[in-house]
A and B are shown apart, each in its own frame.
Chain A
Amino acid sequence: MRVVLTIAAKDLRILLRDRTNAFFVIVFPLAIAIFFGSIFGGGSRSIPIAVVMESAGPVATDFANALEKDSTLSVRMLPTREEGDASVRLGRVAACVILPKTFDSDLEKAMAGSRAIIEVHCDPARQAESGLVVGKLNEHAMRAIVRMFTDPKINSKMLAQSKLALMLNPNMTSAQRERVSDVLESLQELFNERNREATAAAAETSVNVAGSVNGDSAINTVNGNTSATKKSASNTTENLNVPGSTATAPAAIDPFLSLPIQIQSSTLTNDSTEPPSTYAVTFPQGLAWGFVGCIGAFGAGMAEERRRGTFMRLLLAPCTIATVLTGKSLACFTACMTMSVFMLLVATLGFRVSVQNWPLLALAIAACSFAFSGFTMALSGLFKYEGSARSAGNAIVLVLVMIGGGTIPLTFMPPFLRAASQASPFSWAILSIEGAVWRGFAFTEMLPSLGILLFIGALGLLLGNLFIQKRART
């Protein structure tokens, strides 16, 4: 037993004396626990979307207001659909929601078969978030429909417009028109009666409240405007499978068998090009993992030189430490470039991924390779021992990939982690490559990503140089 205890004590002492072990035993699990706790735990999460209101009608306005009040969405109101699409392309929002110019007028003719379309342009690289956005839009569409049919002023106008549309509908026989018109007349009477009741009640109580409950939704009318309460309607959303909500052409819908608001979602298209293939989205992310491989291969380089004893010989060369470091980072840069070119050849030749802008892609890959070679040199200089450099380096890179959106959608992260993701070179690398491959970035749109990648590379080289200078002195 004494021997067992002696060995255990020795091993524990060694464990505590190696800072890398301390990092993995204490700091890293703590960081991972907090990281995943933040992702899967409570707290506010919101999906960034752009909303473009081409219609200034009351229903469209109400709809946009409801989206803005929805805590699961972070709405950025934009004036034109071009700006909305640009926001999606630049990766600033997960989707762009467009309420077209005819939204309100189409709804007013709903009882005559007219359907209001809500367009959603989704980021192909953020499918999970886009799916959630479409779900939320369906929920709000249902609430808007409820509001329409329970607001006497709106539905009276709707009936009048629908009757007019019916009269002008060339696709219906006179008998069909008559039957539908009878139904509308009856509805008109019903709504008028309810309107009168509501007015009388308001006059009696001098309170401007009229209530009507439909399912899980509660509707309040205040000063003539309607607004839905923020009560959850998740059950409704789950059961609501609106026909044509996924990029189905409106002409194919039977107007009398579908809801009056249709969500028409599509992945972002750029000018005349078709939406990118799945591989166009996955290959940039694959490249990010290729960069991880390069970091792994070169990150322990300096520590390895120290272990071998060749570090001293390198320092003895008639050159500066910065020159040695530059040579090492050039090797890493070349490996990153070679890997990227190989991956892109496979993508374009083997998987028919079409690249929108080859010169910009070349720039993006060069900037990424520079950023990661600089980053690798900083890691390389940071750790004294080869084992530390490999294991702690891999852990750091893994965390940066995760917060960079390489594995977990940014939406699922709390605000502080989402902000931290801006510091991850991987998020900028993926954005810049996607920008050239399928996001259709212009050179000016590419500049921020390129600038940040170049800054990361330069900072990495500078820090690596400082770390290695320090190591050389001890």
Chain B
Amino acid sequence: MLLLDGLVKNFGALRAVDGLSLRVNRGEIFGLLGPNGAGKSTTISMAIGLIKPDAGSVTYEGFGSPTQPSVRKHVGMAPQTLAIYEELTGEENVVFFARLQGVNNPRAAAREALERVGLTARANDRARIYSGGMQRRLNLATAFFHKPPLLLLDEPTAGVDPQSRTNILELVRELANEGAAILYTTHYMEEAQKICDRVGIMDEGKVLVTGSVQELLAKHSKETLVMIDRPSGETRISTNDPLREVTTALEAGDVTGLRVERADLETVFLSLTGKRLRD
């Protein structure tokens, strides 16, 4: 559905995106993972046609390039910032964007979207008095009310309570099951592991690897991570034999703490870049 091919974007001397290529298929949730400044937001801006790439192309397969306004009606976007009008009610917000998109029955579309995010009871309240989690759900509702075949969700669960997060993740899964192609960026590894069919790990403007979570774990992080705390600092050891590493450390003395972690996407990122995702 979404095809990014060799995207390059420079801001002055800074190369924000460097030859990025990826594909997101219908019914698939593709997680784009990376630390702040990796180029995720710039990639999304190019994916929705707001920023023109210096090189490469963006294609919505079957529709064309999102630089054409008529093509953009096939995409829904939930930006990381809460892009809603606090002075309007929840329903008025969705109806406004539905009218912009040219939806036939905006009010019905708004009610359906609000119901799916669990805001029917508060539909006529101003968004200003919503909790953070409710505002985040409204932000999501304004992305999918028109049932677009492509959804770009930029940190859709940032700063929400556990209950809202669960609701959002379930809804995203539902939308994918209904056939939407979803590009999902997040900092939360457990989220990505839970709902993404495939992930791409991004750093310094490049996608380092793509694949399913299982594929990446198998390929890039077979080992277990042992973290040993000493007064001098933390030591990390990737190993196939964690018991031996722990024993050795304890025999050497001076150990103030010990942790053994199973390999996860964080470990994959660490092994690929030498740094933590949330650094």
Contacts and interface: CB of A to CB of B under 8 A. Distances in A.
B83 A312 contact: yes
A472 B50 contact: yes
Contacts of B142: 313
Contacts of B81: 308-309
A472 to B, nearest CB: 6
Contacts of B116: none
A469 to B, nearest CB: 11
Given A308-B83, A310-B83, A317 B77 contact: no
B50 A315 contact: yes
B101 A317 contact: yes
Contacts of A316: 48, 50, 72, 75, 77
B102 interface: yes
A320 interface: yes
B14 interface: no
A310 B71 CA distance: 19
A320 B69 CA distance: 6
A318 B83 contact: no
Interface string A142-176: 00000000000000000000000000000000000
A319 B79 contact: no
Contacts, number: 52
A2 interface: no
B150 to A, nearest CB: 11
Nearest to A317: B100
A310 B84 contact: yes
Contact of B73 (A313, A318, A472, A473): A318
A363 interface: no
B82 interface: yes
Contacts of B79: 309, 312-313
B69 A309 contact: no
Interface residues of A, number: 14
A319 B86 CA distance: 24
Contacts of B52: 473
A314 B84 CA distance: 11
A308 B84 CA distance: 7
Nearest to A324: B100
Contacts of B100: 313-314, 317-319
Contacts of B102: 318
B273 interface: no
B132 to A, nearest CB: 14
A310 B77 CA distance: 11
Contacts of B83: 308-310, 312-313
A314 B48 CA distance: 12
Contacts of A472: 50
Contacts of A319: 69, 100
Interface in B35-89: 48, 50-52, 69-73, 75, 77, 79, 81-86
A20 B142 CA distance: 34
Nearest to B83: A309
Nearest to B82: A309
Nearest to A321: B69
Contact of B69 (A312, A313, A318): A318
A463 to B, nearest CB: 21
B97 interface: yes
Nearest to B71: A318
A320 to B, nearest CB: 6
Interface in B103-152: 142
Interface string A314-332: 1111111000000000000
Given A317-B101, A318-B101, A312 B84 contact: no
Contact of B72 (A308, A309, A310, A318): A318
Contacts of A312: 48, 50, 77, 79, 83
Contacts of A317: 69, 72-73, 97, 100-101
B262 to A, nearest CB: 37
Task: Determine which residue in A315, A316, A473 has the highest number of CB atoms from chain B within 10 A of its CB, and name it.
Answer: A316
B50 A318 contact: no
A309 B52 CA distance: 19
Interface string A432-474: 0000000000000000000000000000000000000000110
A69 B51 CA distance: 64
B77 A308 contact: no
A320 B68 CA distance: 9
Contacts of A314: 100
Interface string B203-235: 000000000000000000000000000000000
Nearest to B68: A318
A313 B50 contact: no
Contacts of A320: 69
Task: Determine which residue in B52, B75, B100 has the highest number of CB atoms from chain A within 10 A of its CB, and name it.
Answer: B100
A314 B70 CA distance: 14
Nearest to A313: B83
Contacts of B48: 312, 316
A320 B51 CA distance: 14
Give the 10 A-B residue pairs with the shortest CB-CB distance, closest first.
A309-B81, A309-B83, A318-B73, A317-B100, A318-B69, A310-B83, A313-B83, A318-B72, A309-B79, A319-B69
30 contacts: A308-B82, A308-B83, A308-B84, A308-B85, A309-B79, A309-B81, A309-B83, A310-B83, A310-B84, A312-B48, A312-B77, A312-B79, A313-B77, A313-B97, A313-B142, A314-B100, A315-B50, A316-B48, A316-B75, A317-B69, A317-B97, A317-B100, A318-B70, A318-B71, A318-B72, A318-B73, A318-B100, A318-B101, A320-B69, A473-B51
Given A308-B83, A312-B77, 10 more contacts: A309-B79, A310-B85, A312-B50, A316-B48, A316-B72, A316-B75, A316-B77, A317-B69, A317-B100, A317-B101
